[in-house]
Amino acid sequence: MCFSLACSHHHPLNCIVPPYMLRVLEMRGDEAVATMARRLLKQNEKVREERAEMTHPGLPPHEISATPLGRAAALPDGSVKPNRQIHDGQYRAALPGLLVRSEGDPNTGIADADTAYDAAGEVFSLFAEEYGRDSLDGDGMPLIATVHHRRDYNNAFWDGRQMAYGTGDGRLFRTFLELSVVGHEMAHGVIQYSGGLIYENQSGALNESIADVFGSLTLQRALGQQAHEADWLVGRGILGPGINGQALRSMKAPGTAYSDNLLGQDPQPWHMDHFVTTPEDNGGVHINSGIPNHAFYLFASYLGGNAWEAPGRIWYHALQSLNNPMATFLDWADQTIQSANELTGNGSTEAVMLRRAWKLVGIAI
């Protein structure tokens, strides 16, 4: 998500490039980079104001069924299919732009449009086949996306109704159509329609972390990677060719995704001892998300196998059961352990390993 207005806590604009990174670019960059950063912050603010004027109610958690640990029995084979609608923004600001590919259409020949179509299908498949969810709202909503949003636009976002992807400027960012990024942003839609998490302080960091988790799981599932095979990076390969870094964030080693003269040092902590208290970034929502991110990584690594199975189902079940939009890290840890007990049995290996993972990041249940 992005730079904050007071209203944005309830009507957030979910951007993949965090505002603190843009602030660093504004201070450290040359005139062209600083101008780009200021313009992007202003553009985000304008879109957020428009977002605040709209109402996008999420479904209360109790109205979305939580799927048992097994595969999605709630959705019979073939009964649920995505409804993807991909638009070409033609480098303009207006959304959604020109419809270029609808569900079932052949490839367009527009590389970004076809990539967005395929990526949306992977996200839909994860939630439908593994967690029994019919699209982002749980009720079959269309998956609307716009590629080529604005010219040289260094961001991607979920605005409460649809996805929009910039192409990057080729210097700082080279693409925003990487699968963990797409999965992250679309997962914000799932969070929105699962009761939501207020986008500030710890509840906001949980919002970001849960989106990172499902973004990473989308990529791992598409690649067929077990937990020990995955790199646990969010946004691998999207940074520009001259940037010293691998990705935007690392769930395996928060704080190590990049270290660059222009972008600065990845500020994410992995433990509560290093929790960052700041008025920026809605109370550090993109920064402190490293702590619950690392807990999920540890949990999935302890269990081994496919992280989108037991770990992902426990996280999804916890999201549907939370019913607390201002949840703290401790609240969330407790809810995930309750979900592990409900899905796998009291005292199960999953519950024991999850409790250990939370303790190792400084949250004892």
Positions annotated as catalytic residues are 185, 286
Q: DSSP character for 317?
A: H
β-bridge partners, 165: 156
> Strand 84-88 to strand 143-147: parallel, antiparallel, or no bridges (unpaired)?
parallel
For residue 146, which phi and psi values (nearest 5 degrees)? Answer: -125, 125
Q: Are 340 and 351 in contact (CB under 8 A)?
A: yes
- Residue whose tokens read 């199975």: 309
Q: Are 135 and 83 in contact (CB under 8 A)?
A: yes
User: How far apart are alpha carbons 336 and 58 in whole angstroms?
Assistant: 21
Non-local (6+) Cβ contacts of 274 within 8 A are none
Query: Peptide bond preceding 96: is omega within 30 degrees of 0, i.e. cis?
Result: yes
User: How far apart are alpha carbons 40 and 26 in whole angstroms?
Assistant: 10
